[in-house]
Structure 1
């Protein structure tokens, strides 16, 4: 674990500014409840019940997108999960926000408006520049401490993530601490047995970078999704090409050299799908062995049943299993066989397991699995990728720096 302080280290009765990541799907203007609310609720409840005055910051969507909405609905959803009242103010750092902050009593919780509705938030800048912004300079004097619980946004250099820990003593919330520990385990921990990584999803460029970075840490990669098809393409099969999609050819062009290099140098570490699933003319699930594919004429939406039967024993013989990306379009039950099959194999195995990425982790609850059967289910995407590859997380580095500065005083 890095040497940052956590909320257990906070002095009593602090005025605390807390950064959460409540970014959520929005359907017809309605914010959807999800795992992020329940996870961050623990931090919020612990702070409120300890008697701190708690002010929350979070973002939702980006300007110009349908998901760019107010956080007013988020306050009610978070309150339900945390079991404490969460007030909301339609302001981020103006007079209304400052007045609401100053009116708080011990144990009160207030959620500020969407941080991305301020001009200072989104530009990627050095922490020192953000610390000098009107946003940070106006809010920081109202608080005794800053808590970052937004691990899933920790790879961003946004004002609310990297500016405040230069103005206030910085602490990690519950989500930040547990996510960082679990997601860096593949790089930091030593495992006596086999380490397996399940690689899928649509962002092949990300996971191929992970494979390259972790080749000495991982004994076996099990492939599916877009990355799986691209590796099959490199192995000489007529798949991994765009048909009714725009997912393959561009990523192939960007990664062909790396894919071929990985296959050539570490072929025994990479297990490819032996069959793939598609939608047949009747709308049902069809499967075809990759050896029998002569031309890709339609999209493949999952790995096949035989592939799952090959992957499951490898998982069961592993001491640690990390998942990054789904093996198919699991939201459609017809094409959930690959993703659900490997997750069930992991759940049945007494191994250290991390399921990463919000999309993939949704399959656990969607298909009635118990989250407790996995060592950790991550709510992070980009930060998870960075942790796996050992790249720095700016927001985490600032918490460490804050702790070091505090110890030096």
Structure 2
């Protein structure tokens, strides 16, 4: 296991890697639940008398979301109720001067670490530990804290290099996410375990089904992934209409695997009985899957499917969710996703809801995070945790311990 904040001595200067990668509008970051979660870790560090310097990323080079972290500092300050100094530099002279002047109880945010040449290449931790980024910053700090669980599957310099040259600890987000998301691999459940899978990427979810075979009793499938499985079952859905590019390329790449998965796990896969679409008046309409002909886009599972999935959830001791069952951002087509989440919230079961979009539905439709055992802010790292694949940043922390 790794060291946590419980093992960190007070009154130190600490370098903290967080993940506040956020939606961008008009060139500025927009608030999301990652800011609030990391603010809890930062506040705990400040209460312990630490001087806190933050490393974070935003977007990738070449994309519209690849912006400075200046607007992120203002959002963090709102959550912390204290000032967050921002410096438009990561490990140059301006950054080093700001770090040197950092006092106990103060917070400094460095510039987007992905603007540094050393950061993005996927390399072995030992190589990253020798990078200019790590070698320049590490001597200025007493300890390194990695709180960026949602990026823990990336072998980037700021995530895996520092634990090899410094005392390294897991922040609270890292600690809690790792514990909850690894539960499907590490905990034993006496009753029924159900997994609800949806979203858009079959390549993410097929390995999950295969890897949790010994733990999960029943899989409920919806979203684009669910429609692809309906296609494999012989129904006239799961293909592109004019102007759509969601299905056919996935079928070409994964159709054989989807059919094989359906053959092997068929009696444990709950597919939708009905699907919802927008009728000519702009209202929600539903049609049974049996005998269906796809003449329009399907945007949600139907009422019978939602009820069946919800019943399955209520019978379960543990429920894991990855991916939305429909286009829940449109209230007309939120019934499947929200209906299943409401059933989980009403049930006394161990529950983990993961995938950024799915967890966002909890907030959008007035559900309380307290009604779930854990709501993950991770995407790729959550999928890897479900399948038991190693997370390189977690391994780096464990090695440091």
Q: TM-score if structure 1 supplies the norm length?
A: 0.96
Query: How far does residue 373 in structure 1 lie from its aligned partner after superposition?
Result: 0.5
Unaligned runs of 5+ in 2: none
Find 1:75's aligned residue among 62, 73, 76. 73
Are the counterparts in 2 of residues 54 and 108 from structure 1 also a CA contact under 8 Å? Answer: yes
After TM superposition, what 4+ stretches of structure 1 lie above 3 angstroms from structure 2? none
Separation (CA, whole Å) in 2 of partners of 1:211 and 1:88: 44
Deviations 1:375-396 (A, max 9, x none): 0000000000000000000000
Unaligned runs of 5+ in 1: 404-409
Deviations 1:274-297 (A, max 9, x none): 001111111111111011313x22
Find 1:50's aligned residue among 44, 48, 51. 48
Partner residue in 2 for 1:262? 261
**Does 1:165 pair with 2:163?**
yes
Partner residue in 1 for 2:102? 104
Query: How far does residue 139 in structure 1 lie from its aligned partner after superposition?
Result: 0.6
Separation (CA, whole Å) in 2 of partners of 1:58 and 1:238: 46
Q: Give the secondary-structure state (helix, strand or coil) at the position aligned to 1:323.
A: strand
Q: Give the secondary-structure state (helix, strand or coil) at the position aligned to 1:146.
A: strand
Q: Give the secondary-structure state (helix, strand or coil) at the position aligned to 1:246.
A: coil
Find 1:219's aligned residue among 212, 217, 220. 217
Separation (CA, whole Å) in 1 of partners of 2:192 and 2:216: 8
Separation (CA, whole Å) in 1 of partners of 2:390 and 2:80: 31
User: What is the number of residues matched between the two proteins?
Assistant: 400
Find 2:2's aligned residue among 1, 4, 8. 4
Q: Give the secondary-structure state (helix, strand or coil) at the position aligned to 1:318.
A: coil
Separation (CA, whole Å) in 2 of partners of 1:30 and 1:70: 9
**Which structure 2 residues correspond to residues 4-153 of structure 1 after superposition, within 5 A?**
4-153=2-151
Separation (CA, whole Å) in 2 of partners of 1:20 and 1:198: 28
Q: Give the secondary-structure state (helix, strand or coil) at the position aligned to 2:161.
A: helix
Separation (CA, whole Å) in 1 of partners of 2:262 and 2:200: 20
Separation (CA, whole Å) in 2 of partners of 1:44 and 1:196: 35
Partner residue in 1 for 2:353? 355
Query: How far does residue 258 in structure 1 lie from its aligned partner after superposition?
Result: 2.2
Partner residue in 2 for 1:401? 399
Partner residue in 2 for 1:407? none
Partner residue in 1 for 2:240? 242
Q: Give the secondary-structure state (helix, strand or coil) at the position aligned to 2:54.
A: strand
Q: Give the secondary-structure state (helix, strand or coil) at the position aligned to 1:291.
A: coil
Deviates more, 1:183-192 or 1:248-257: 248-257
Query: How far does residue 106 in structure 1 lie from its aligned partner after superposition?
Result: 1.1
Separation (CA, whole Å) in 1 of partners of 2:359 and 2:281: 30
Superposition CA RMSD, Å: 0.9
Are the counterparts in 1 of residues 235 and 291 from structure 2 also a CA contact under 8 Å? Answer: no
Are the counterparts in 2 of residues 45 and 83 from structure 1 also a CA contact under 8 Å? Answer: no
**Does 1:273 pair with 2:275?**
no
Separation (CA, whole Å) in 2 of partners of 1:13 and 1:194: 47
Q: Give the secondary-structure state (helix, strand or coil) at the position aligned to 1:302.
A: strand
Separation (CA, whole Å) in 1 of partners of 2:142 and 2:295: 61
Separation (CA, whole Å) in 2 of partners of 1:331 and 1:248: 20
Separation (CA, whole Å) in 2 of partners of 1:13 and 1:275: 59
Separation (CA, whole Å) in 2 of partners of 1:263 and 1:134: 50
Deviations 1:227-275 (A, max 9, x none): 1011111110011111232121121222222222222122111000000
